[in-house]
C-alpha cells in the first residue's frame, strides 16, 4: 500500500484534453450550461439578434447564431484554447469586469466533451472561416465557409466521449426546461437584443427588441407571465452611486417555490445570499409562511466595487461594502412595499408600469434598526384629514375599537312591496331607485375601497367602489392597522431595557466578542447591555423589557452571527414584531362583532392610509376586488 502511495505521489503535467475535461466538469453540467456560455459570448460580441436551435433538449444539437462583431480567421484556433480571451488584458481589467465572460475557458471546456463547429465572419472580412474540433483529439481544423457577419456555434453529441456524465442528465423535458430558463434569464438582462428559440423544429420563444417601457413590459410579461406584471410594483431608485430598478411582485402574488426571482448585477444574473437575505427581510411581515416573493430587479453599481470572479459559473458576486448594498436593497424594497396602497393595486397594469416610486430619500438609510427608524419618520409626516363624511371620535386613541362620528345622511331603504303573488310581484314595475347614502354622484370621488354596503356573517365587509364589489376581512384588516400603529408607537417611545438580577454569561468566539464590542452602542439602543468579561466571554446585563420571556443567550448569539455574515441583523426587530403582531391580533376587532356602517367605512379609510394594509401580519390578504367583468362572468351576462 505504501509503495502504491509513493508511486502515485509523483507530480505530472496534465494533458490538455484531461485538463479541459476537468474544467468542463465545473462549467458544463448540462445543455443549459452550454447555452449559457454561448449566449454570453454572443452578447459580449455586441449581437442584436440571437437565434437558438435545439434538438433533443440540446444533447443532440445546440446551435447559436448571432449578428455580433465576429472572430477573425487568425483568432479562430485561439478561441478554442484555454485561457484565451479578448475581454481582459491585465489585472486592472479583471478588477472592473464589464463583460459577461472573461476567463476564456468556456469554448475549450465545451469542445472537450462535444463535437464543436465555430463559423464566424467579421465586418471587414471578404469571407467567413470555420473551425472544427472534437473531444477526442482537440485538434482545431480551420477552413473557409459561407456565413453572414456574426458567429454561429454548433455543439453536437454532448458528452459523447464521457458517457458517465451523460448518464446524469435528466429527461428531455427537464433538460429543455433548464435550457429555456437560461434563455429567459438572459433575455430579461438584455431588452435591446432579440431572442428566438426553436426546439426540434418548433418555434418556442420569439422575443423582439424592446426599446421603450411598453415593449420592456411586454417582454417581462412574456417571460414571467402576464399575471406577474399585473401584480408587480415598478420601482426605480438611485442613491450614492447605487441604482436599483425593475419590478417587485406584491406579497399576494407569491409562489410556493423561488422560481420567479431574477436579480441582475450590472447585467449579470446572480443568486447571491446577501441579496436573498435583504429581499427576505423586506418581505418579512407581509408574506405568508412558506411562500416566496417574486421580482425582476436590476442593480447597477461601479464595477470596481463588485467582484464577479468568485464562482466557477459566475452565479455569485462579492461586494466591497456588503453592508451598504444590503441596507440599500432592504431599505428600497421595504419602503416600496410599505407605500403600496389599495389604489395602486386597483390601477391598470399600463398605469402601474409607468409609476416611479419616490423612495430614494429613504433608500439605503436602513441599518439594523432600520424599521424602527422608518416608523419614527412616519411620526413626523402630517396626518391626512379624515375622509369626507367621517371623523374619529374624541378619545378614540390608537384605535383599539372603532368609534367614529358619522355625519348623518338618510340610510332608509325603500320599503318592499307587499307580495301579491310571486309572479305578479316579479313582473311589477321596480320601485324608483334611491341614491345610496354613501355613494356620491361622481364615481371619481369614490375612495379606492369604496363605501360599505353591509356586513356578511360578522366576518366580511361588503363595499362598493368604482370598479365593483370589494370584500374585506375585517379582523385581518384591523390587525394590520393595529400592528402598524404599535410599531410607530414603539419607535416614538423607544425600547426600555430591563436589568437582569443575575447577569447571564455567554461563551463566544473572539470574533463574536469583537463584533459585540463594535456594535455596543447599537445593542444599547435596542435595550441590551453587553459587557466583555474576557477574550471569549460576554455578560448580558440587560435585555429589552418586551423580550423578557425570550432566551437572551440564543438571541444574542443569533444576532452576532447575522452581524458577522451580513453586517446587519433583524432578529431583534423580528422578535419584537412577532410580539407586536400578537398584541395586534388580540386587540383587533373579533369575528361576529356587528359594526355600524360608520365603523365599517372608518375601517376602510384606515386601510387606505395604512402601510401594507393589503396583508395581515401573517401575510394573508385582507381584501379582494370583484369587478363588474368578474360578476358578469359568474352570471354569464353578455353571452
Q: Could you report the per-residue pLDDT of 336-357, keeping only the tens digit for each?
A: 988 888 887 776 543 344 443 3
> Cβ(260)–Cβ(294) under 8 Å?
yes
Following CA atoms 28, 187, 293, 340 in sequence, which dihedral angle do they give, to the nearest 10 degrees?
A: 160
Following CA atoms 176, 177, 182, 183 in sequence, which dihedral angle do they give, to the nearest 10 degrees?
A: 70
Distance in angstroms (rounded) separating the CA atoms of residues 560 and 511: 9
pLDDT in the model for residue 355 = 40
pLDDT in the model for residue 353 = 42
CA 619 to chain CA centroid, nearest Å: 16
pLDDT in the model for residue 356 = 39
pLDDT tens per residue, range 262-281:
999 988 888 888 899 899 98
* 31 pLDDT tier (thresholds 50, 70, 90): very high
pLDDT in the model for residue 562 = 74
pLDDT in the model for residue 107 = 83
Least confident of 286-290, 471-475, 549-553: 549-553
pLDDT tens per residue, range 71-108:
888 888 787 776 666 665 556 655 666 667 666 677 88
> Cβ(39)–Cβ(50) under 8 Å?
yes
Residues, the chain = 639
Closest CA to 80 of 113, 54, 58, 47: 113
pLDDT in the model for residue 287 = 85
Residue 615 DSSP class? B
Cβ neighbours for 274, distance < 8 A, ≥ 6 positions apart? 319, 322, 325, 326, 566
Laid out side by side, the sheet with 61-66 consists of: 141-145, 128-133, 115-121, 150-156, 61-66, 49-55, 194-199, 202-207
pLDDT in the model for residue 73 = 87
Q: Could you write out the DSSP letters of every residue in 460-476?
A: EEEEE-SSEEEEEEHHH
Closest CA to 562 of 530, 526, 519: 519
Least confident of 223-237, 389-403, 452-466, 487-501: 389-403
pLDDT in the model for residue 29 = 84
Residue 513 has pLDDT above 50, yes or no: yes
> Cβ(375)–Cβ(335) under 8 Å?
no
Count the neighbouring beta carbons within 10 Å of the beta carbon of residue 457.
Answer: 7
Which three cell numbers, joined as nine digits, stand for 637?
Answer: 351576462
pLDDT in the model for residue 557 = 83
Residue 407 has pLDDT above 80, yes or no: no
Distance in angstroms (rounded) separating the CA atoms of residues 132 and 139: 8
Cβ neighbours for 189, distance < 8 A, ≥ 6 positions apart? 264, 267, 268, 269, 298
Fold of 453-639: Ribosomal Protein S8; Chain: A, domain 1 (3.30.1370)
Residue 431 has pLDDT above 50, yes or no: no
pLDDT in the model for residue 312 = 61
pLDDT tens per residue, range 554-589:
878 877 887 777 666 666 667 667 767 776 776 677
Which has more confidence, 524 or 579? 524
Distance in angstroms (rounded) separating the CA atoms of residues 610 and 479: 11
Least confident of 138-142, 330-334, 514-518: 138-142
pLDDT in the model for residue 2 = 46
The conformational region for residue 319 under phi > 0 = left, psi -120 to 50 = alpha, else beta, is beta
- Residue entry with cell 426605480: 236
> Cβ(368)–Cβ(522) under 8 Å?
yes
pLDDT in the model for residue 174 = 94
**Helices (H), ranges, 296-435:** 322-338, 342-346, 349-353, 370-379, 422-427
Number of helices (H) and strands (E) in the chain: give both, helices first.
23, 24
Averaged pLDDT for residues 464-487? 90
pLDDT tens per residue, range 539-562:
988 887 766 666 778 878 877 887
Distance in angstroms (rounded) separating the CA atoms of residues 417 and 212: 59
* 54 pLDDT tier (thresholds 50, 70, 90): very high
pLDDT tens per residue, range 174-233:
999 999 999 999 999 999 999 999 999 999 999 999 988 889 999 999 999 988 988 888
pLDDT in the model for residue 102 = 62
**Sequence ranges of the chain with CATH classification 3.30.565.10:** 16-207
pLDDT in the model for residue 96 = 63
Long-range (24+ apart) CB contacts under 8 A made by 514-521 are 515/560, 515/563, 515/564, 516/556, 516/560, 519/368, 519/563
**Sequence ranges of the chain with CATH classification 3.30.230.10:** 213-366
pLDDT in the model for residue 570 = 64
CATH class of 213-366: alpha beta
Long-range (24+ apart) CB contacts under 8 A made by 40-43 are 40/100, 40/101, 40/106, 40/186, 41/100, 41/101, 41/106, 41/107, 41/151, 41/153, 42/66, 42/68, 42/151, 43/100, 43/186, 43/190, 43/193
pLDDT in the model for residue 395 = 34
Closest CA to 35 of 197, 150, 192: 197
**Sequence ranges of the chain with CATH classification 3.30.1370.100:** 453-639
**Residue-averaged pLDDT of the chain:** 77
Distance in angstroms (rounded) separating the CA atoms of residues 56 and 174: 11
* 26 pLDDT tier (thresholds 50, 70, 90): low
Which residues face 115 on adjacent strands? 156
Which of 68-77, 209-218, 414-423, 514-523 tops mean pLDDT? 209-218
pLDDT in the model for residue 373 = 44
pLDDT in the model for residue 617 = 80
In terms of CATH architecture, what is 16-207? 2-Layer Sandwich (3.30)
pLDDT in the model for residue 3 = 47
What's the predicted TM-score (pTM) here? Answer: 0.72
Long-range (24+ apart) CB contacts under 8 A made by 97-102 are 97/303, 97/308, 97/309, 98/266, 98/303, 99/44, 100/40, 100/41, 100/43, 100/44, 100/267, 100/268, 100/314, 101/37, 101/40, 101/41, 101/44, 102/308, 102/309
Distance in angstroms (rounded) separating the CA atoms of residues 28 and 373: 47
Distance in angstroms (rounded) separating the CA atoms of residues 526 and 372: 10
Which of 179-183, 227-231, 403-407, 512-516 tops mean pLDDT? 179-183
Rg (CA), the chain: 31
Cβ neighbours for 5, distance < 8 A, ≥ 6 positions apart? none
Question: What's the Cα-to-Cα distance from 497 to each of 180, 251, 522, 581, 601, rounded to whole Å?
Answer: 55, 34, 13, 20, 39
Which has more confidence, 24 or 423? 24
Closest CA to 577 of 286, 275, 255: 286
* 500 pLDDT tier (thresholds 50, 70, 90): confident
Averaged pLDDT for residues 503-517? 88
Amino acid at each position: 500500500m505504501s509503495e502504491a502511495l509513493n508511486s502515485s505521489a509523483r507530480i505530472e503535467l496534465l494533458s490538455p484534453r484531461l485538463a479541459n475535461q476537468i474544467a468542463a466538469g465545473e462549467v458544463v453540467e448540462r445543455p443549459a450550461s452550454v447555452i449559457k456560455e454561448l449566449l454570453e459570448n454572443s452578447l459580449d460580441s455586441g449581437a442584436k439578434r440571437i437565434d437558438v436551435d435545439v434538438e433533443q433538449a440540446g444533447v443532440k444539437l445546440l446551435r447559436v447564431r448571432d449578428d455580433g462583431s465576429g472572430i477573425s480567421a487568425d483568432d479562430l484556433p485561439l478561441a478554442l484554447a484555454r485561457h484565451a480571451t479578448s475581454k481582459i488584458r491585465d489585472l486592472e481589467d479583471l478588477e472592473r469586469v464589464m463583460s459577461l465572460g472573461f476567463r476564456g475557458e468556456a469554448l475549450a471546456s465545451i469542445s472537450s466533451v462535444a463535437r464543436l463547429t465555430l463559423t464566424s465572419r467579421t465586418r471587414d472580412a471578404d469571407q467567413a472561416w470555420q473551425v472544427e474540433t472534437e473531444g477526442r483529439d482537440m485538434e482545431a481544423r480551420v477552413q473557409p465557409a459561407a456565413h453572414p457577419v456574426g458567429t454561429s456555434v454548433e455543439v453536437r453529441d454532448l458528452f459523447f466521449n464521457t458517457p458517465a456524465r451523460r448518464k446524469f442528465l435528466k429527461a428531455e423535458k427537464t433538460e429543455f426546461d433548464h435550457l429555456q430558463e437560461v434563455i429567459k434569464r438572459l433575455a430579461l438582462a438584455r431588452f435591446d437584443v432579440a431572442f428566438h428559440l426553436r426546439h426540434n423544429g418548433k418555434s418556442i420563444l420569439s422575443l423582439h427588441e424592446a426599446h421603450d417601457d411598453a415593449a420592456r413590459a411586454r417582454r417581462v410579461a412574456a417571460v414571467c407571465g402576464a399575471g406577474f406584471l399585473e401584480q408587480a410594483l415598478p420601482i426605480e431608485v438611485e442613491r450614492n452611486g447605487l441604482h436599483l430598478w425593475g419590478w417587485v411582485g406584491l406579497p399576494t402574488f407569491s409562489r410556493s417555490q423561488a422560481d420567479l426571482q431574477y436579480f441582475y448585477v450590472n447585467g449579470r444574473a446572480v443568486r447571491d445570499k446577501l441579496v436573498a437575505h435583504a429581499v427576505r427581510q423586506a418581505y418579512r411581515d407581509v408574506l405568508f409562511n412558506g411562500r416566496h416573493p417574486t421580482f425582476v430587479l436590476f442593480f447597477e453599481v461601479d464595477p470596481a466595487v463588485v467582484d464577479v470572479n468568485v464562482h466557477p459559473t459566475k452565479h455569485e458576486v462579492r461586494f466591497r461594502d456588503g453592508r451598504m448594498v444590503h441596507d440599500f436593497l432592504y431599505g428600497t424594497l421595504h419602503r416600496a412595499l410599505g407605500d403600496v396602497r389599495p389604489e395602486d393595486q386597483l390601477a391598470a397594469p399600463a398605469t402601474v408600469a409607468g409609476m416611479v416610486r419616490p423612495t430614494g430619500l429613504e433608500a439605503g438609510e436602513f441599518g439594523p434598526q432600520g424599521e424602527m427608524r422608518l416608523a419614527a419618520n412616519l411620526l413626523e409626516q402630517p396626518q391626512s384629514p379624515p375622509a369626507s363624511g367621517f371623523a374619529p371620535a374624541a378619545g378614540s386613541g390608537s384605535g383599539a375599537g372603532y368609534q367614529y362620528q358619522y355625519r348623518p345622511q338618510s340610510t332608509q331603504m325603500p320599503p318592499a312591496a307587499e307580495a301579491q303573488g310571486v309572479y305578479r310581484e316579479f313582473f311589477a314595475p321596480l320601485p324608483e331607485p334611491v341614491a345610496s347614502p354613501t355613494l356620491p354622484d361622481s364615481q371619481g370621488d369614490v375612495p379606492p375601497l369604496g363605501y360599505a354596503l353591509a356586513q356578511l356573517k360578522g366576518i366580511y365587509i361588503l363595499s362598493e367602489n368604482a370598479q365593483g364589489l370589494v370584500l374585506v376581512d375585517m379582523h385581518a384588516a384591523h390587525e394590520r392597522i393595529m400592528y402598524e400603529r404599535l410599531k410607530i408607537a414603539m419607535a416614538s417611545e423607544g425600547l426600555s431595557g430591563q436589568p437582569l438580577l443575575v447577569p447571564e454569561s455567554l461563551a463566544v468566539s473572539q470574533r463574536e466578542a469583537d463584533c459585540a464590542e463594535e456594535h455596543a452602542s447599537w445593542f444599547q439602543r435596542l435595550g441590551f447591555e453587553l459587557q466583555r468579561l474576557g477574550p471569549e466571554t460576554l455578560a448580558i446585563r440587560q435585555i429589552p423589557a418586551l423580550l423578557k420571556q425570550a432566551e437572551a443567550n440564543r438571541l444574542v448569539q443569533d444576532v452576532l452571527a447575522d452581524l458577522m455574515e451580513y453586517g446587519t441583523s433583524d432578529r431583534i426587530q423580528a422578535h419584537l414584531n412577532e410580539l407586536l403582531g400578537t398584541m395586534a391580533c388580540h386587540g383587533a376587532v373579533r369575528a361576529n362583532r356587528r359594526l355600524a356602517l360608520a365603523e365599517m367605512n372608518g375601517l376602510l379609510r384606515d386601510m387606505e392610509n395604512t402601510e401594507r394594509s393589503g396583508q395581515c401580519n401573517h401575510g394573508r390578504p385582507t381584501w379582494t376586488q370583484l369587478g363588474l367583468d368578474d360578476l358578469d362572468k359568474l352570471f354569464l351576462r353578455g353571452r
